Amino acid sequence: MSTTIVVLYHSSHGSVEAMAHEIAESIEQQGATALLRTFVAKNPHDIVISKDDLIQCDGLAFGTPTRFGMMASQAKAFWETTSELWLKGQLIDKPACVFSSSSSMHGGNEATLLNLSLPLLHHGMMLLGVPYDVPELLGTQTGGTPYGASHVAGSNNSAQLSKDEIKICQSVGIRLTKIASKLQ
């Protein structure tokens, strides 16, 4: 039985999308299926998330840019439509992780990661962080927190993912896949 992980994201300037692709690639390298999903189709290749995607997946990676320490409004609007899933307990015990990007080092990534976690916890999902056995977490000069993967995009949102940020994204995808596979 193949493990399927949804990598759900909103990206305004491409940073969160780049993180989503790193996470998805690491999921695929573990032999699982990664389904990249967005909240709003901005590009021809974008696939908009459905509630069935969440019901049928074995795990979830969820990310948006930081908006004053909170998730993007597109994500919040979607989660507000998931009460029926909550009432039926359809996401209970599915593993999940979160990721985010901000324009500055102290731009709200950690607060956003915690905010992204709230609907997942309400749905009974098992939240996975980044453990300190990921060496890049201790050495990063850019993004990366124990709450989830993060990126510092710079004031003009042009900074590429650093080597440490990439490794942290990959570690998140690998850990999520391992846990989801064990729970199947």
| pTM of the predicted protein model | 0.97
How do residues 123-166 score in pLDDT, each as one tens digit?
A: 999 999 999 999 999 999 999 999 999 999 998 888 999 999 99
pLDDT, tens digit, for every residue of 78-137?
999 999 999 999 999 999 999 999 999 889 999 999 999 999 999 999 999 999 999 999
- Give the pLDDT of residue 72: 98
Mean pLDDT of the chain: 96
Q: What is the 3-state secondary structure (H, E, C) of the chain?
A: CCCEEEEEECCCCCHHHHHHHHHHHHHHHCCCEEEEEECCCCCCCCCECCHHHHHHCCEEEEEEECECCECCHHHHHHHCCCHHHHHHCCCCCCEEEEEEEECCCCCCHHHHHHHHHHHHHHCCCEECCCCCCCHHHHHCCCCCECCEEEEECCCCCCCCCCHHHHHHHHHHHHHHHHHHHHHC
| pLDDT given at position 1 | 76
